[in-house]
Amino acid sequence: MEKYINNYVIVTIFILLGILLPVVALTVGRLLRPNKPTEEKKTTYESGNEPVGDGQIRFNVRYYLFALMFVIFDIETVFLYPWAVAYKQLGLFILVEMAIFVGLLLIGLIYAWKKKVLKWNSI
Amino acid sequence: MGSWLDETLTWGNTLIFALWGIILLVLVLGFVTYAIYFERKVIGWMQLRIGPNRVGPLGLLQTVADITKLLIKEDTIPRKADRVLFILAPALAYVPAFGVLAVIPYTNELYFADINVGLLYYVALSGITTIAIVLGGWASNNKYALLGGMRSAAQMISYEVPLVISVVGVIMVSGTMNLRSIGEQQGDWFWQWNFLPQIIGFVVFIIAAVSELNRTPFDLPEAESELVAGYHVEYSGFRFAFFMLTEYVYVYAIAALTTVLFLGGWHAPLAFLDFVPGIIWFLLKFAFIVFFLFWLRATMPRIRIDQLMGMGWKVLLPLAILNVFITAVYLELFIKG
């Protein structure tokens, strides 16, 4: 039990240190760096031209499809990990079970493939 | 670390853990400084140049000078940018990069957190960096940055899937997600390490890892020739440095993870060489992988984006799943029962 708590204390310390470094570095940096903002400096960079319009434009819907595929397959891995840990202790049944599950997802992948979701044709 | 982990938690012990954490932080920062130096030097030699040689003896202080320059450089935030998210993004990118180092063991005795879900923790936390990159691209309110950020996100999520599935084979063989026991279970001969039995998983893992690191040949998010600099165009000074730092901390993390998962961790390649301490073997393998990444950068041209996405989903993902089932059938036929 002690070991369990201690391990997670270390994890917390690492995450806190991870937060602390940017905070400290940027605060120290604020004391060291000059700050002379002008209007020109604050314009959006567009290769030297006057920026046209807004930067937060609509982007291609394809990114959304990739995000959907990612969610589906990441869920798969959530199921695969505990299955893989316990695999040696479980019977043949569990292999068939996972084959059916992954098989269904692979049909989904083939469907997306045929629908040309994976084809990249513009930016 | 082992002995402290078994004791009851006191403030003194917490302080010791914090000190160890700080020591690792300093070591990692040192690693990053000299990894950048060696990257420039090695690529210089490979291209028949000298590389950095002006600042300090042999140019050893070049990166230190670069970091100092970034620290005292003016920090501009564009007027149109979303200030809060713009400031948050570099820190959010860095936190998980350092957080994942908590679970990496160096030898059987030298490790930090020894948690049973170590590998899952690594995978889960490293995914957060993707959010930071999209956030940085979006908050800049710049077209190049947005495109770079979206591309980067698309690439990272596409390659994260084969990356996490390719290690399932290793988990099955080891029967645990605890990185220390995965390392310990590999034998003292190099053919007992996971990379030969899990060769498909290993190859998929390496390719997907290089892509996750956004390094050549998969460095499209920062393709200078087409996207100016990708998601960090608008970042200057130390905020920019944090994105770079994140990248190199991940190089450290992935190199260490590959060593532990596939290259036998701290084991000697030949059993009669085990008089050499484990940490030396670990560092040698680790250094080799870091060198391999630099070598790749000097050798490979950049891949096209359609080829990149196609490869992730059409080649690596099916291969990774195939590897899981080959491992499953192998364990079913020869190990179980």
pLDDT tens digit string along B91-103?
Answer: 999 999 999 999 9
8 Å CB contact between A85 and B175? yes
CA distance A60 to chain B (A): 9
Cβ atoms < 10 Å from Cβ of A4: 12
**What is the C-alpha to C-alpha distance for residues B25 and B79, in angstroms, rounded to an integer?**
34
- Taking alpha carbons only, the member of B257, B96, B279 closest to residue B170 is B257
Q: What is the rounded distance in angstroms from the CA atom of residue B250 to the CA atom of residue B124?
A: 14
Angle between helices B317-330 and B199-212 (to 10 degrees): 150
pLDDT tier, A100 (very low <50, low <70, confident <90, very high otherwise): very high
Enumerate residues 6+ apart whose C-beta is below 8 A from B233. Answer: A45, B140, B142, B144, B145, B148, B227
- Please, are residues B327 and A84 in contact by the beta-carbon 8 Å criterion? no
- Nearest CB to B237: which of A21, A33, A76? A33
B6, B159, B161, B177: which to substitute to probe chain A, counting the most A Cβ within 10 Å?
B161
Residues of B in contact with A22 (CB under 8 A): 90-91, 94-95, 242
**A33 vs B5: CB contact, 8 Å cut-off?**
no
Pick left, alpha or beta for residue B302 (phi over 0 → left; psi -120 to 50 → alpha; otherwise beta).
Answer: beta
In tens, the pLDDT along B73-88 reads: 888 888 888 888 888 8
Q: Are B174 and B182 in contact (CB under 8 A)?
A: yes
Q: Is the pLDDT of residue A92 over 90?
A: no
Asked if pLDDT for residue A123 goes beyond 70, the answer is no
DSSP strands (E only) in B31-70: none
| Chain B hits for A15, Cβ within 8 Å | 95, 98-99, 102
Rounded Cα gap, residues B112 and A108, in angstroms = 41
Q: Is residue A61 scored above 90 in pLDDT?
A: no
Please check whether residue B84 touches A, CB under 8 A. no
| Cα distance between residue B324 and residue A9, in whole Å | 34
Residue of B nearest to A29 (CA): B71
pLDDT of residue A18 exceeding 80, the answer is: yes
* Residue B258 touches partner A, C-beta closer than 8 Å: no
**CA-to-CA distance for B163 and B258, rounded, in angstroms?**
11
Q: Can you read off the two tokens belonging to residue A92?
A: 């043949």
Is the CB of residue B305 less than 8 Å away from at least one CB of chain A? Answer: yes
pLDDT the model gives residue B258: 92
Q: Is the pLDDT of residue B211 over 70?
A: yes
Nearest to A70 among B102, B138, B157 (CB): B157
Distances (CA, A) of A105 to A117, B156, B164: 15, 20, 16
Which residues in chain B (19-38) have CB-CB distances under 8 A to chain A? 20-22, 25
3-state secondary structure of B228: coil
The answer, yes or no, to whether residue B283 has pLDDT greater than 90, is yes
Inspect the interface and report whether the beta carbons of A35 and B74 lie closer than 8 Å: yes
The DSSP letter of residue B191 is G
* Whether A42 and B79 lie within 8 Å, measured CB to CB: yes
Size of interface A-B (CB pairs under 8 A): 235
B96 touching A (Cβ < 8 Å):
yes
- Indicate if ipTM > 0.95: no
Residue B322 CB-density burial (10 A; 0-12 exposed, 13-18 middle, 19+ buried):
middle
Q: How far is A100 from chain B (nearest CA, A)?
A: 12
Instruction: Go through chain B and tell me how many residues it has.
Output: 337
In the 8-state DSSP scheme, what is residue B262? T
**Prediction pTM value:** 0.91
Residue B31: its pLDDT value, please? 93
Cα(B149)–Cα(B243) distance, integer angstroms: 12
Q: How confident is the model at residue B290 (pLDDT cuts 50, 70, 90)?
A: very high
Identity at B285, one-letter amino acid code? K
pLDDT in tens, B172-192: 988 888 999 898 888 888 888
pLDDT value for B142: 82
- Chain B, 209 to 228: residues with Cβ < 8 Å from chain A are 228
- Show residues of chain A in contact with B171, CB under 8 Å: 81, 84-85
Query: Cβ A14–B21 below 8 Å, yes or no?
Result: yes
